[in-house]
Amino acid sequence: MSNQDFVILPGPSSISFARSMAKQMGCDIADLEFKEFPDGENYFRIVSDVKGKRVLLVQTLSPPVDHHLVQLLLLAKKLSETGAFVYAICPYLGYARQHREYLSGEVVSLKVVGQLMASMGVKRLVTVDIHNVEGLGLFTFPAFSVSAIPFLADYTLSKEDLSEAVIVSPDFGSSARVETFAKLVNRPYCVFEKERNRVTGEVKIKPPPLKLKGATAYIVDDMISTGGTIVKAANVLNEYEVKEVIAICVHPVLTINSVEKMSKAGVSKLIASNTIETEYSKVDVSKAVVDHLKLLG
């Protein structure tokens, strides 16, 4: 299969990411008419002929998550009805944090998302740094997660002075990613132990015994949502008298005052990928998806 066999359909939430993929792959971008009605409903018309084509429907599931999910489902349904083979490319996969029933009675939201996609005709899913790879097992069709970490590491190596750098994982969940990042930038790393009370949501961090005084600490996480995890880690790092705290994440979800909260906690800079398009999304990681698609070829 060559790249010419793919057509890219940029969903409203991932226009730049989709264009970057199309440029690298040298494939066509499908023509789409889209408008949002004053009441928030979506209107779509797929103008290009996509019958028999492999269509990469690129739509990140960032906030407003449900709105973006419905947009993806509407488009997937029309594409599949038209006879296209639909790949959902979700650079950020909303609902991935609820991949399990932690407390009895909880909805396994990611499983429902997978079922909705399947019933609208999605045949493949590619995402970037899914919160937990266990989540991929909930899909009834092949689902893949590619990593943005090498791209974030390359960017950091090229832009930052890492001579005094320590890489920090704010919890065990991110430790594998952080270990990879630390190896790529060739700096030491440590893992903070985090405990989240799943009822109240309260998070506590215990620092490991490691000399941090005077270091530039780079906290690396898969996502920053409220900023609470980064703030707690930054507070611990400041108690240890680090020189500077910088936050790096794959998915800058960045809800309610998260940037201000991190800034108040002494975080001097935020480096993020473009799985969600924000002013901090300096690192284009669409190549991770493109490389994966080439491997499938």
Structure tokens at 84: 């296209």
Would you count residue 147 as binding ligand R5P (CB under 6 A)? no
Nearer to ligand R5P, 120 or 234 (CB): 234
223 binds ligand R5P (CB under 6 A): yes
Residue ranges in 127-146 that form contacts with ligand R5P under rule CB under 6 A: none
Given the structure tokens 């928030």, which residue do they identify? 40
Backbone angles phi, psi at 45, to 5 degrees: -140, 120
Q: How many residues bind ligand R5P (CB under 6 A)?
A: 13
Find the shortest distance in angstroms from Cβ 243 to ligand R5P: 23
Q: Is 294 a catalytic residue?
A: no
End-to-end CA distance of the chain: 5
Catalytic residue among 194, 206, 213, 269: 194
Q: Cβ distance 246 to 268 under 8 Å?
A: yes
- Cα separation of 149 and 183, whole Å? 11
Closest Cα to residue 135, out of 95, 88, 96, 94?
96
Closest contact distance (angstroms) between CB of 115 and ligand R5P is 23
Binding flag, residue 57, ligand R5P (CB under 6 A): no
For position 91 contacting ligand R5P by CB under 6 A, the verdict is no
**273 belongs to the binding site for ligand R5P (CB under 6 A):** no
Q: Least CB distance from residue 125 to ligand R5P, whole Å? A: 20
Q: Distance between CA atoms of 50 and 126, rounded to whole angstroms?
A: 20
Q: Which helix (H) or strand (E) holds 152?
A: helix 149-159
Please tell me whether residue 224 binds ligand R5P under the rule CB under 6 A: yes
Residues contacting 139, CB < 8 A, separation 6+: 114, 117, 118, 125
Residue nearer to ligand R5P on the CB measure, 156 or 225: 225
- The closest of 58, 275, 255 to 147, measured between CA atoms, is 275
Instruction: Give whichever of 143 and 270 is closer to ligand R5P, judged by the CB atom.
Output: 270
Residues that bind ligand R5P in the complex, under the rule CB under 6 A:
170-171, 173-174, 221-229
Residues classed as catalytic: 194
